[in-house]
Chain A
Amino acid sequence: MAVKSSGRWLVLAVPYLWLLALFLVPFLIVFKISLSTDAIAQPPYEPVFDLAAGWEAFKESFSALSFDNYSYVLSWDNEFIEAYGSSLWIAGVSTILLLIVGYPIAYGMARAPKSIRPTLLMLVILPFWTSFLIRVYAWIGILSPEGLLNQLLIALGIISPDQPLQILATNTAVYIGIVYSYLPFMILPLYSALEKMDDTLLEAAADLGCPPFAAFWKITWPLSLPGVFAGCLLCFIPAVGEFVIPDLLGGSDTLMIGKVLWTEFSVNRSWTVSSAVAVLLLMVLVIPIVFYQNLQAREVEGR
């Protein structure tokens, strides 16, 4: 009995140990840096905790911590709040676009003959075989003024050669990049929700007098909501902190928190402010994560 229960504790402990080592400890380090002040030193902030210096020194360095960086980040004079807002907006719009693009694809896959579903699934995952960075770079080749898209439109005579479409370095390019890159993360949870749906439910709806389109909204859509929420959160959360796509495809006026954080860290060399930005970003994202977990708990209960 004792062996059995200690074995169970061990199994339970493993994921928590991972979380502790790979999430909580790094988070605490970042949090501590966010409470420090910049310094021309190695590392570039102070105070630095030195356990060897003894208890008094430790207490002294502890009292040197302050929330100044947070008031700096949260002040309206600086662009941070705007960057948070703009990131949430871009991520939100992208998520809605992803849902609009991804749902019909997932629906089509779930309705496809069983024999070709694995192939379709493979095709959705296939882009992962190429580096993310290369795929985003490829969009520069497509969207730039002399890129493939403009060449095609000019060749077809839709636009004149001296007025190519300005897509690259705009928010439109960022939306395109995010929708393209995150699409599998939207399709896969939607597909799994739609695929396990019982077809006889739709037959039952039809039998009771419900035409197919109405049956979609009354049966299919509500039953796919767990997949919709999962897909939206899987896309929304990383999209808020996205850095590569706005950096490569966006323009100078594309304001996203990931890019701001990068600038703060590598150009301004302020570890402390960038840590504060990161901690606040986490806070912003914890809210939808908690919401999602509640939803999942309810779904599990619903079984």
Chain B
Amino acid sequence: MSNGVAEKTQKTIGGIRRKFAPWNDPQAVPLIRYQNVTKRFGEFTAVDNLSLDIYEREFFALLGPSGCGKTTLMRMLAGFEEPTEGMITLAGQNLVGTPPYKRQTNMMFQSYALFPHMSVWDNIAFGLKQDRMEKGAIAARVEEMLKLVKLEKFAKRKPHQLSGGQRQRVALARSLAKRPKVLLLDEPLGALDKKLREETQFELMDIQMELGMTFLIVTHDQEEAMTVADRIAVMNHGKLVQVDQPAVIYEQPNSRYVADFVGDVNILDAKVEALAPGAVTLRAEAAPDMPIRVAQECPAKVGDSVALALRPEKLRVELDPPADPSVNTLTGTIWDIGYLGDLSIYHVELPNGVRVKAAKPNLTRMVERPITWDDKVYVSFTPDAGVVLTS
């Protein structure tokens, strides 16, 4: 079990270190398959003709705003909802029509749903007892789970005698105890404070690698999804907008929606001025006197309206014009400054009133920053900093 970590991060195939990426392997057989799944509640369509493959040992995140259908998608896998149309398979078996108590999935509930009249020990043992596991084996498994979540000393306590973080661990231990094929996590860390949440995210990843299980997490917190997941599916209105690794979602969003939902972004409306192989020149409405070069293959035609997405940390703000002529440079004035300690966020107003945000790390301990309100500044970014979005 201990080499699980190594195995996942550096799978060695033919002597070449490779990342864990079964979704790129055409031979790989998905563990979970949603095939053209639709779920309607009366008039409302929660999940709309959606297909998705999730692979064994993946940590997969469903990300989206509330009401986007992510929870419904998960609950259909657990069996609490049946799809109106379509098929869901787990390890090749069709799940539709199978009641939740016969499915090899376990869920960690957002509210934890611990049984208040049972001790921590009995909560964790509950699922094992349902399987009519032998007594000694139950005790051994419960002890193992208590050790895994570091709650050995709390076995006899009732849920109301625990803190929020401890309850969360009991819920996790209970859902892991049966070694399900898939562990479903419904906003598992939503009730914890920020620090504890960040710690727990890493613990979740460790546990997932240690047990070598498939985790499916539902969250509206994009940072959480980026931290824990191998792949993220961004959802909106019951459809998948983009499914990819966190870095791809962040750096190469496929739409305004994804760019805007995941992380902070400046979106500039622009028109395509010229196209070349692997490059595109744009004319932004916010800076009509300055052509913007973007190093990207662009599906749009000359004259099309597109959007340029620029992450704040990829913009440089300086008092002097950049020396390198290949970078794109816009001019503006400092409209506002947000000092966050590690970063300062500069809000720069471009000549026609559009404001962009630029994040600059505070590399020195100077309290008085050289750039201040109403300064004329140069905002520059390299051709590979931005993404052209056509939708």
Contacts and interface: CB of A to CB of B under 8 A. Distances in A.
B126 interface: yes
Interface in A110-149: none
B75 to A, nearest CB: 9
B373 interface: no
Interface of A: 198, 200-201, 203-211, 214, 218-219, 222-223, 302-303
B160 A207 contact: no
B17 interface: no
A209 B131 contact: yes
A201 B78 contact: no
Interface of B: 78-80, 99-102, 105-107, 109, 111, 113-117, 126-127, 130-131, 158, 160, 174-175, 178
Nearest to B104: A209
A266 to B, nearest CB: 49
Given A208-B178, A211-B101, A302-B160, A203 B113 contact: yes
Chain A binding surface, main DSSP class: helix
A203 B80 contact: yes
B127 A208 contact: yes
Contact of A201 (B115, B158, B174): B115
Contact of A208 (B99, B111, B126, B158): B126
Given A207-B78, A208-B126, A200 B101 contact: no
6 contacts: A198-B113, A204-B109, A206-B101, A208-B126, A208-B175, A209-B130
Nearest to A210: B130
Contact of B130 (A198, A208, A219, A302): A208
Given A203-B100, A203-B107, 13 more contacts: A200-B109, A204-B107, A204-B115, A206-B101, A207-B105, A207-B107, A208-B106, A209-B131, A209-B178, A210-B101, A219-B115, A302-B160, A303-B160
Given A205-B126, A209-B130, A200 B113 contact: yes
Contacts of B106: 207-208
Nearest to A222: B117
Contacts of B113: 198, 200-201, 203-204
A200 B80 CA distance: 10
B272 to A, nearest CB: 51
A209 B117 contact: no
Contacts of A208: 101, 106, 126-127, 130, 174-175, 178
A302 B99 CA distance: 33
B317 to A, nearest CB: 49
Contact of B116 (A210, A214, A223): A223
Contacts of A223: 116-117
Nearest to B106: A207
A85 B328 CA distance: 98
Contacts of A201: 113, 115
A199 B158 CA distance: 19
Nearest to A219: B115
Contacts of A198: 111, 113
A97 to B, nearest CB: 26
A235 B144 CA distance: 47
Which of A207, A209, A218, A222 gathers the greatest number of chain B CB atoms within 10 Å? Answer: A207
B66 to A, nearest CB: 17
A200 B175 CA distance: 14
A222 B106 CA distance: 23
A253 B265 CA distance: 88
B116 A207 contact: no
A208 B79 CA distance: 12
Given A204-B107, A302-B158, A303-B160, A209 B101 contact: yes
Nearest to A202: B113
B111 to A, nearest CB: 6
A166 B117 CA distance: 47
Nearest to A302: B160
Contacts of B101: 206-211
A93 to B, nearest CB: 28
Contacts of A204: 107, 109, 113-115
A58 B137 CA distance: 77
Contacts of B111: 198, 200
Nearest to A197: B116
A205 B107 CA distance: 10
A63 B158 CA distance: 57
Contact of B100 (A206, A218, A302): A206
A144 B5 CA distance: 81
B102 to A, nearest CB: 8
Which of A200, A206, A208, A219 gathers the greatest number of chain B CB atoms within 10 Å? Answer: A208
B138 to A, nearest CB: 13
A239 to B, nearest CB: 29
A211 B79 CA distance: 13
A218 B113 CA distance: 14
7 interchain residue pairs of minimum CB distance: A208-B127, A209-B130, A204-B113, A200-B113, A206-B100, A206-B101, A207-B107
Contacts of A211: 99, 101
Contacts of B127: 208-209
Nearest to A215: B101
Contacts of A205: 115, 126
B116 to A, nearest CB: 7
A192 to B, nearest CB: 16
A201 B175 CA distance: 13
A214 B101 CA distance: 11
Contacts of B102: 209
A217 to B, nearest CB: 12
Nearest to A225: B117
B214 to A, nearest CB: 16
Contacts of A200: 109, 111, 113
A208 B174 CA distance: 9
